[in-house]
Amino acid sequence: MRAAILSFLGERYRNAYKTKELAKALGYPKQGEQYHLLKETLRELQEENHIERIDSRKWGIKLDTDEVEGTLEISQQGHGFVETHERDVRTIFVHRKNLFEAHHGDVVKVSLLPERNGRNEEGEVIEILDRPKRQFTGKIKKIHDKVFFEADNDRFQHDIVIPKRDGEKVHNGDKVIVEVKESITRSERNLSPRIVEVLGKEGDPMADVKALIREMNLPERFPKEVMKGVQTVPEAVLESEIQTRVDLRNEEVFTIDPVDAKDFDDAVSIRVDEAGYYHLGVHIADVSHYVTKGSALDKEALTRGTSIYLVNQVIPMLPEELSNNICSLREGVDRLTYSVLMKLSPQGAVMDYSIQKTVINSKKRFTYQEVQAIIDSGDGKHAETVRHMNTLAKTLTRKRISDGSIDFDLQEVEFQYDETGRPVDVRPKQRLQSMRLVEEFMLLANQCVAKSVLEYGGELPFMYRVHDKPDAEKVKELKEFMKHIGVRASLNPQSSKSFQRMLEKVRGTPEEAVINNVTVRSMAKAVYSEKNIGHFGLGFTHYSHFTSPIRRYPDLIVHRILWEYQQGKTGKAVPYSADTLKDISAHSSAQERAAVEAERESVKIMQAAFMESKLGETFEAIINGVVSYGMYVETLPHLVDGLVHVRDMDDDYYEFDPKKRALIGKRKHRVYQLGDMVRVKVARVDVQEREVDFILYDE
């Protein structure tokens, strides 16, 4: 009986059993003399420390409790918690210093320590038993007959050897993705690497952009079930659908977009009546007609949240069959739209508006440059209509700024490339009046949509684009900074007008760009929310995103909600609850931040690649950041950011003054602060790390 009990429990050491369960499993009766003998034997084995009581009612084999196995979770504070895989499930606390080299999600072996952390036992990781496969970007180094992988992010303390079968597929300097399976003990590390993709040659900036995509885990491909759904969507607009809509196909409607745009989700129209009133139409692709709620396509669009516009590449929210074709408002093709039709006074006041499902046929695919040429010359196709649009847009701009909207003039860059895809020039992107024209019309349509919800009941769930008031302490710091650079301004954190007056005051000055950037950094970030707190930066009490459903998921949500309300499906039948909209808003805001970061990093790659050919050359630059270890500068006119490290400022010993945001020489008292112009020389470029280092240059 002793041998039978120990054998049974030992083979099933992760489990524990009641006495009657053991009796049944071992073939003993559940009563009588043999059952009594079983209970006596179990107590003897417990006294001899062979088995133990579990939860006071069950029996299990005695385990070595000095070591346990489990899955590791890392907290935001960097500490670990291991939930054991043993039958007596418990949580072991692991201080960050005792994590060994374990990551979140690793299966680990933990040695228990005598101390406790609160209610939890405490331990240290002694072995990593299993680790999910991970992918890393890096480059290939071939030395004699060996092929090594050098990771971009210094993840490994030494280069790892690529198996011969994979090494034969690559060349020295190739940029690759390697999948690594690791098992680690304190005495050794076993790596099983496998090349999964060759991105390109080292030094090719597009290979670095591809590496960035993998590094940030950006979704390049759409799942098969999504693509199957797209194949069922009819390319042509059905006549039966046209009959249910307002037919605007004979109206003078056209699109205005960047020269390289492929997805056209907004079109505009205008006419002026005899009384001088403007009848403005903003026509938006009706994506919600094709992307139905809860479909595989909808779930994928929600996961992505937004399209991502990298240099020379777009990662779309929707498959190109939809974004570039079926939903896109292409010239000369019938397309389904959701239109905001507005009547405005000559002074730009909205007198009336309606939001209707429509069908249009774009009469022209304009670029910004083409419309700007018409604005400048007064001649060209649709010239009279463009003139009316421009007149109204200028009126709307003046009115918006007068009402408190802050007009930040933040510069973006654009690249010119050679035939190999390497950047040969980078310049500030020109902000044309034609761009402002489209911006004003979209802003107005978005306001009307947000206000329209009030018609159906102000408490109904909706998704807004909101921008909170700036933090009073940050405004105080901004005022102190401006005082130090000689600009006096009265800033009120409750009034957007005060910020606009300040920006107008510095317009055209050398400090304008720096003040714009510092002011933006003092502001809160615009986000999506189910609660309407207004938009401080724009000075709007009601604002939503409605005009870009091809590339922004919140716009698609707003289309659906608005249509449900227009159909009278209100009350308990609201399409999304406030809690659901809260979750979607938080996710969409997070995806937007990730997209902005990816876009910025891709620009940095190309800027670094451009500067790689400029080593040793000198540039005029403006100081746009000062920290204890140096100062960040932006070259003019290329707008390339880089660092002048304080260790390379060898004419003096410089100390950092955080209040003045300046570096001050201890002996010569020379001051370098935000907004100062300096001349710098390109000293070092690392495209892979997206870093450019400068040194000060004195002729």
Give residue 181's pLDDT band: very low, low, confident or very high (50, 70, 90). Answer: confident
pLDDT greater than 70 at residue 422: yes
Q: How many CB atoms lie within 10 A of CB 119?
A: 8
In this structure, the answer to whether residues 371 and 353 fall within a common structural domain is yes
**Which of the four pLDDT bands, split at 50, 70 and 90, describes residue 13?**
low
Contacts of 142 (CB under 8 A, 6+ apart): 148, 167, 171, 172
- Does residue 132 register a pLDDT over 60? yes
Instruction: Considering only residues 250 and 661, tell me which one the structure prediction assigns the higher pLDDT.
Output: 250
Same domain? For 156 and 280 the reply is no
Convert 8-62 into a string of H (helix), E (strand) and C (coil). Answer: HHHHCCCCCECHHHHHHHHCCCCCCHHHHHHHHHHHHHHHCCCEEEECCCEEEEC
Q: Are residues 320 and 459 in the same domain?
A: no
Assess if residue 631 is contained within a domain.
yes
Token pair in block for residue 370: 């083409």
CA distance 399 to 108: 63
Q: Are residues 122 and 150 in the same domain?
A: no
pLDDT at residue 134, rounded to an integer = 74
Taking alpha carbons only, the member of 415, 433, 420, 426 closest to residue 374 is 433
What is the per-residue pLDDT for 88?
Answer: 57
Quote the percentage of the chain above a pLDDT of 90. 58
**pLDDT at position 185:** 60
Q: Strand 266-272 vs strand 671-673: parallel, antiparallel, or unpaired? A: unpaired
Average of per-residue pLDDT across 311-327: 95
Task: Check residue 648 and give its pLDDT.
Answer: 95
442-463 per-position pLDDT tens digit: 999 999 999 999 888 767 899 9
Residue 171: which of 136, 135, 203, 147 has the closest Cα? 147
Domain presence at residue 18? yes
- Would you place residue 64 in the very low, low, confident or very high pLDDT band (cuts 50, 70, 90)? low
What Rg, from alpha-carbon coordinates, does the chain have? 33
207 occurs within a structural domain: no
- Choose between 132 and 288: higher pLDDT: 288
Same domain, 269 and 343: yes
**Cα separation, 93 vs 117, whole angstroms:** 7
User: Of 490, 489, 582, 578, which is closest to residue 527 (Cα–Cα)?
Assistant: 582
pLDDT at 53: 81
Binned at pLDDT 50, 70 and 90, residue 187 comes out as low
Element of type H or E holding 607: helix 578-612
In this structure, is residue 654 part of a structural domain?
A: yes
Closest CA to 673 of 514, 523, 521, 517: 514
Which pLDDT band, with edges at 50, 70 and 90, does 157 fall under? low
How much is the pLDDT for 458? 65
What is the C-alpha separation between 293 and 556, in angstroms, rounded? 10
Q: Choose the final residue of a domain: 31, 61, 91.
A: 61
Which of 442, 418, 406 is CA-nearest to residue 522?
406
**Distance in Å from the first CA to the final CA of the chain:** 96
- The reply to whether 215 falls in a domain is no
37: left (phi over 0), alpha (psi -120 to 50) or beta: alpha
Q: What pLDDT, on a 0 to 100 scale, did the predictor assign at position 76?
A: 67
148 & 241 share domain: no
Question: Would you say residue 148 lies in a domain?
Answer: yes
- Residue where a domain terminates, one of 167, 202, 237: 202
Residue 116: predicted pLDDT: 64
pLDDT band, residue 117 (cuts 50/70/90): low
How far apart CA 496 and CA 513 sit, in angstroms, is 19
Same-domain check for residues 194 and 87:
no
CB-CB neighbours of 493 under 10 Å: 19
Of 469, 505, 463, 475, the C-alpha closest to 488 is 505
pLDDT at 118: 61
296 and 234: one domain?
Answer: yes
Report the percentage of the chain scoring pLDDT > 70.
Answer: 94
Report residue 89's pLDDT band, with 50, 70 and 90 as the boundaries: low
Q: Residue 518 domain-assigned? A: yes
Residue with more model confidence, 351 or 188: 351
Confidence of residue 362 (pLDDT cuts 50, 70, 90): very high
Quick one: which H or E segment has residue 580?
helix 578-612
**618 lies in some domain:** yes
Number of domains in the chain: 6
At residue 539, the pLDDT reads: 95
Say whether both 55 and 172 belong to one domain. no
- DSSP, res 540: B
* Least confident stretch, 12-16, 71-75, 548-552: 12-16
Check whether 245 has a pLDDT greater than 90.
Answer: yes
User: Mind listing the pLDDT tens digit for each residue in 259-305?
Assistant: 999 999 999 999 999 999 999 999 999 999 999 999 999 999 999 99
Q: Domain of 508? A: 446-601
Sheet-wide strand order for 350-361: 246-247, 350-361, 334-344, 278-285, 266-272
**Same domain for 323 and 264?**
yes
| CB within 8 Å of 253: residues ≥ 6 apart | 267, 268, 269, 281, 283, 360, 361, 362, 363
**pLDDT at residue number 135:** 81
Q: Is 367 helix (H, G, I), strand (E, B) or coil?
A: strand
Residues 6+ apart with CB under 8 A from 660: 484, 671, 673
CA–CA gap between residue 44 and residue 27 (Å, rounded)? 20
pLDDT classification of 599: cutoffs 50, 70, 90: very high
Over residues 214-239, the mean pLDDT reads 92
Same domain, 523 and 578: yes
pLDDT > 90? residue 17: no
* 367 and 255 in a common domain: yes
What is the length of the chain?
699
Look over the chain and give the mean of its residue pLDDT values, rounded to a whole number: 90
Task: Write the CATH number for 115.
Answer: 2.40.50.140
Is 0.85 topped by the overall pTM? Answer: no
| pLDDT level of residue 438 (50, 70, 90 thresholds) | very high
What confidence score (pLDDT) does residue 85 get? 64
Pairing between strand 91-94 and 120-130? parallel
Q: For residue 153, name the pLDDT band (cuts at 50, 70, 90).
A: low
Domain-terminating residue out of 171, 202, 233 = 202
Query: Most confidently modeled of 33-42, 192-201, 624-633?
Result: 624-633
Considering Cα of 677, then 683, then 687, then 689, what sign does the dihedral take? negative
pLDDT at 156: 62
CATH number of the domain where residue 26 is located? 1.10.10
pLDDT tier, 58 (very low <50, low <70, confident <90, very high otherwise):
confident
Q: Tell which wins on pLDDT, 408 or 561.
A: 561
pLDDT at 122: 86
In this predicted structure, what is the pLDDT of residue 150? 87
Nearest to 638, CA basis, from 668, 614, 663:
614
